[in-house]
Structure 1
Amino acid sequence: MFKLSPQKLVNLTLLVLTISIAVQCEKDKVQTQDVPTKKNDSLALVKKDSLIQDSIKKNTIVYQPFIFPKNKRDSAMAVFNDQFSKEEQTVILSLNRLDLKNKWRADTLMIPDKIDATLMSYSPFPRTLDQLKEVSKIVFFSYPIQAYALYENGALIKWGPTSMGHKTAQTKRGLMFTNWKKELAISTVDSDWKLPYNFNVHNTLGIGWHQYDLPGYPASHSCLRLTMDDAKFLYKWADQWILNKGGATVKANGTPVIVFGDYQWGGKKPWKNLSNDAQSNNISVEEMNAVIKPDLAKILEEQAKRNTVVSAQNTTQPSA
């Protein structure tokens, strides 16, 4: 992890504020609570700079808004591209549920004062969940914050952005299990849609996770969109189901997956609150426990069944 210099962030803010003020003079107001008024520009920048300095001392994260005025989007994007490397942009966009292809959609970006390519420094999920100590692997997808999390024996190992089902094609909530996977699948909704590193989690409904556009809001046809790097990681990390001879019935399920919560349709995107409260997107241990508890017995039951099947397979396989 490396830090963005306070001066770099202040310079960036000054440039964007200059653009914003020009647009405001033309009465094109940017819809955000984070834009300071002309009268208080200097004071706001001093306060922001002070917050950044404090965060560095305390080793905490402070987010600063980068605003794209309606009539000066190209100018603002040029500033963003100039100020941040591709690696930095990837991190920033991920925190705003966007990918590089869709960064043009941004109106406001929350920018952290430290860049961590793993994203773990910004995790909204608890680092440990004691309730999951006996669960070898599990995946969570949160609708409210459009993010996924991977846990191994109760320890968070990875999290990242997602784009789940849009309002009229929402992703099914609840417990599912990974089953089959395909390195390049074709969408059943539109044959022109290519889905790299697809991992199916609900065979009859055709729900799976895969790489596809992250536009900064729930936009899929019920699937769980990921960045390319994340799709590749999950493709290797999760387990497929095990079928009985002939492939007609399931002998053992794959990795458990829980989709939970409700998105605030039409409301402010939750990650846009980070500049006011860096903890605003966090999901507490208690909230996660409430999500897990109804399905824990089933998860452990299916895990035990799978372990028995895998153990039997390993026993019957001839040694090399």
Structure 2
Amino acid sequence: MDSLQKAKVTYTPFIFSAKKKDAAMAKFNKELSEEERYTILAINRLDSKNKWRADTLAVPDKMDKTLMSYTPFPIQVEKLKEVKKIVIFSYPIQAYSLYENGKLIKWGPTSMGKKSAQTHRGLMFANWKKELAISTVDSDWKLPYNVNVHNTLGIGWHQYDLPGFPASHSCLRLLMDDAKYLYNWVDTWIVNKDGRTLKANGTPVIVYGDYDWGGKKPWKKLIDDPHSNDISMEELDKVIEPYLHKILEAQKKREQVLGEGINIQN
């Protein structure tokens, strides 16, 4: 795929009728490879554990496990050219994107906060991370590759169930492969030796927009219009603009702190 152009993809429906769901699921499992199933489920904001929830899946005419052929995010964002790293979560389409100096390097599905426990919107920064965290809501919930982005509210991203709709208790759920990738890619905060004084922020994170609660799931609209989930450059610019100065100031501060060679505690 050209670095500045999105691939042309069309989608067809794979229907799981209520009366023949077992047969449809057997066909889905038998006729498609593991990689193809992974790709289709990811497009539909599902993981393998929750595939039983499917009623109609949007199936692309070409398979790309990286998902980059299906990106709803702009490939290049000029406004971010000076920002080394940033994570952007879109509530409307339940998806995240990673940019490096304005270039989209990865995107994927997420399940954000449910209507009664919505994820905090706005600019945040990656704080600390833990390879396996335990939920403060329920100690039985194990959260692999957890990255905290709001310390006082306890919000972070991590691997957990993707059921095809916003279902979390305000955190940002990811597929296991994505959670591991982001865990290794993200820069966390820099704190003093006492662990109490913040010296510099980590990677900036923006969460924006609203979900169409009770409406048709956005990814199902791809079947009729493959561009229905696309986020325009103008829309993303409006999301970024209010925070850009603060992001660049935080980046500059981080570079200064790193240049001083202080002790880093992640």
Normalised-by-shorter TM-score class: over 0.9
Measure, in 1, the Cα distance between the counterparts of 2:123 and 2:10.
Answer: 35
Question: Could you tell me which amino acid in structure 2 is paired with residue 219 of structure 1?
Answer: A
Q: Report how far residue 245 of structure 1 moved.
A: 2.7
The answer on 1:243 being equivalent to 2:198 is no
For residues 41-73 of structure 1, what are the alpha-carbon distances to aligned partners after superposition, in whole Å with 9 as ceiling and x for unaligned?
A: xxxxxxxxxxxxxxxxxx621100011111111
Q: In the alignment, what sits opposite 1:274? A: 222
Mapping of residues 54-65 of structure 1, within 5 Å: 60-65=8-13
Count of residues in correspondence between the two structures: 259
Measure, in 2, the Cα distance between the counterparts of 1:270 and 1:138.
Answer: 24
Q: Report how far residue 82 of structure 1 moved.
A: 1.4
Taking only the aligned residue pairs, the percentage that are identical comes to 71
Given candidates 142, 159, 182, the residue that maps to 2:130 is 182
The answer on 1:260 being equivalent to 2:260 is no
Give secondary structure in 2 for the equivalent of 1:235. Answer: helix
Q: In the alignment, what sits opposite 1:30? A: none
Q: Report how far residue 131 of structure 1 moved.
A: 0.3
Q: Report how far residue 249 of structure 1 moved.
A: 1.6
Q: In the alignment, what sits opposite 2:169? A: 221
Give secondary structure in 2 for the equivalent of 1:254. Answer: coil
Measure, in 2, the Cα distance between the counterparts of 1:308 and 1:83.
Answer: 55
Q: In the alignment, what sits opposite 1:118? A: 66
Measure, in 1, the Cα distance between the counterparts of 2:173 and 2:18.
Answer: 28
The answer on 1:107 being equivalent to 2:50 is no
**Which has the bigger relative contact order, CA under 8 A and spacing at least 6?**
2
Measure, in 2, the Cα distance between the counterparts of 1:127 and 1:83.
Answer: 32
The answer on 1:283 being equivalent to 2:234 is no
Q: Report how far residue 248 of structure 1 moved.
A: 1.1
Mapping of residues 88-237 of structure 1, within 5 Å: 88-237=36-185
Question: Could you tell me which amino acid in structure 2 is paired with residue 75 of structure 1?
Answer: A
Question: Could you tell me which amino acid in structure 2 is paired with residue 225 of structure 1?
Answer: R
Give secondary structure in 2 for the equivalent of 1:304. Answer: helix
Give secondary structure in 1 for the equivalent of 2:248. Answer: helix
For residues 256-281 of structure 1, what are the alpha-carbon distances to aligned partners after superposition, in whole Å with 9 as ceiling and x for unaligned?
A: 00000000000000110101110000
Q: TM-score, normalised by structure 1?
A: 0.80
Mapping of residues 293-308 of structure 1, within 5 Å: 293-308=241-256
Give secondary structure in 2 for the equivalent of 1:274. Answer: helix
Q: Which has the higher helix share?
A: 1
Measure, in 2, the Cα distance between the counterparts of 1:220 and 1:246.
Answer: 33
Measure, in 2, the Cα distance between the counterparts of 1:229 and 1:258.
Answer: 21
Question: Could you tell me which amino acid in structure 2 is paired with residue 289 of structure 1?
Answer: D
Q: Report how far residue 188 of structure 1 moved.
A: 0.1
Moved over 2 A (4+): none
For residues 23-58 of structure 1, what are the alpha-carbon distances to aligned partners after superposition, in whole Å with 9 as ceiling and x for unaligned?
A: xxxxxxxxxxxxxxxxxxxxxxxxxxxxxxxxxxxx
Give structure 1 stretches of 5+ with no counterpart.
2-58
Given candidates 254, 259, 262, the residue that maps to 1:311 is 259
Which region of structure 1 is more displaced relative to structure 2, 293-302 or 59-68? 59-68
Measure, in 2, the Cα distance between the counterparts of 1:265 and 1:80.
Answer: 28
Give structure 2 stretches of 5+ with no counterpart.
2-6
Measure, in 1, the Cα distance between the counterparts of 2:193 and 2:50.
Answer: 44
